[in-house]
């Protein structure tokens, strides 16, 4: 049975496995879309360190997509359509709010904060997926998902350091003036 809601096609979820496939499909869609998001975030800043970090994050997303494809192979399923509306809203808000910020230091900080915000959403998604893989007995899938989760956690730590460095360097400039 297919229902239409706000121009989106959705299938009712009748079992935990269908939920797992839906969430795994969403994660794959998010990983594909995130490459473009991190590239856009990187282009929005003038700080070379932030650009490099965000470009590296976009590069790592390719590995995540391959890992998720392997997960689908292991469970004998194919990804299903995902609406991706959350990321679209995130980008719309990001662009609107960034346009309102005029100071380059504040822009750099805002970009890092938004990148971190997005990554925390993904971490929550992967924590749930790892638990579902373990409960379903797909331990190989769990290993792949945990490696994706570890990449995301490493990025949040790196972003935290960049936020601190950005605040400290901009604060030092302000104190010296």
Q: Is 50 exceeded by the pLDDT of residue 6? A: no
**In sequence order, what are the residues at sequence separation of 6 or more whose Cβ sits closer than 8 angstroms to the Cβ of residue 57?**
34, 38, 115, 155
Q: What is the mean pLDDT of residues 79-104?
A: 86
Q: What is the mean pLDDT of residues 118-139?
A: 94
Give Dmax (Cα) for the chain. 66
Cα–Cα dist 131/176, whole Å: 50
Report the predicted TM-score, pTM, of the whole model to 2 decimal places.
0.81
Say what percent of the chain tops pLDDT 90: 44
Q: What is the mean pLDDT of residues 37-58?
A: 84
Q: Is 50 exceeded by the pLDDT of residue 3? A: no
CATH code given to domain 15-75+83-174: 1.20.1260.10
């Amino acid at each position: 049975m297919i229902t239409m809601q706000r121009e989106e096609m959705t299938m009712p979820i009748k079992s935990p496995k269908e939920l797992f496939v839906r969430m795994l499909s969403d994660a794959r869609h998010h990983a594909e879309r995130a490459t473009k998001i991190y590239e856009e975030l990187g282009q929005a800043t003038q700080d070379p360190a932030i650009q490099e970090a965000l470009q590296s994050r976009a590069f790592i997303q390719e590995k995540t997509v391959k890992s998720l494809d392997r997960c689908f192979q292991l469970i004998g399923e194919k990804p299903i359509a995902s609406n991706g509306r959350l990321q679209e809203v995130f980008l719309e808000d990001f662009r609107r709010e960034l346009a309102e910020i005029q100071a380059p230091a504040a822009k750099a900080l805002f970009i890092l904060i938004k990148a971190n915000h997005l990554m925390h959403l993904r971490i929550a998604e992967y924590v749930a997926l790892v638990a579902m893989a373990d409960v379903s007995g797909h331990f190989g899938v769990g290993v792949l998902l945990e490696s994706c989760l570890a990449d995301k956690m490493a990025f949040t730590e790196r972003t935290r350091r960049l936020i601190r460095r950005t605040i400290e360097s901009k604060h030092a400039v302000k104190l010296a003036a």
